[in-house]
Structure 1
């Protein structure tokens, strides 16, 4: 399935669904950020995905990170809540989803990097090299807040 991200685009299709999702901001001991190259839009992003019934939000973050990257994590704090109605995701099956994502900060506790059906690349990116990656502005916002650390988590509408 392919996905197109629309951000502040007056020609974007109207959303017909909303899904609770998570993303995970993980730094290694060298302050490199864990990122994936998504298979649905070919952009670099944070690991994450859809919340499933019966899970806590932190369980979703742990599961999705492991599924997409092979890295086991422990959630340590909240980066922020992102629910911008001007960011919609359109899929080739007709779904047009309004963004609603909770971004968690986590630390790696095991595993080894590997790709999945949702990730064509799993990499640890030094902060100074983030500008060389094709990253959607909504993900870049999460990354920027993740690096800010001790601030109160933002809530973006």
Structure 2
């Protein structure tokens, strides 16, 4: 690749990153073909913190008084039950659709309690008609499966908890 192509590619990637930011996108993938044996395949992604806003009708005055004295949390309750914070969480590396088995009707790759080795396929995330096998980052036992077959996931979505 020539210096001219390199400079143009860097400018192209910067422009993609700007498009990502301006349009509030989480991921963008583009392939440029220069010739039969020369191409550029770029995927630009960013982590976006999602903010959930819930609208709740104002409670009656009696309900407000009942809420004023919150009950103590049970001693065995986890202080933060967010699966993304679990040290065994395996997250999605891309935006796509989750498949739990290689093809419809086949046995799922994993189930709760199953032991997996490092590199074993946990599930598939389809992105842009490409089936991406998500490997186990380490050996362990499947503690929780956090997604359902056919579910849409974002970049960074917790998929599985490994113990």
On whether the aligned pair clears a TM of 0.5, the verdict is no
- Larger Rg, first or second structure (1 or 2): 2
TM-score tier after normalising by the smaller chain length: under 0.3
Q: Give the strand-richer structure, 1 or 2.
A: 1
User: Which protein has greater RCO, CA pairs closer than 8 Å, 6+ apart?
Assistant: 1
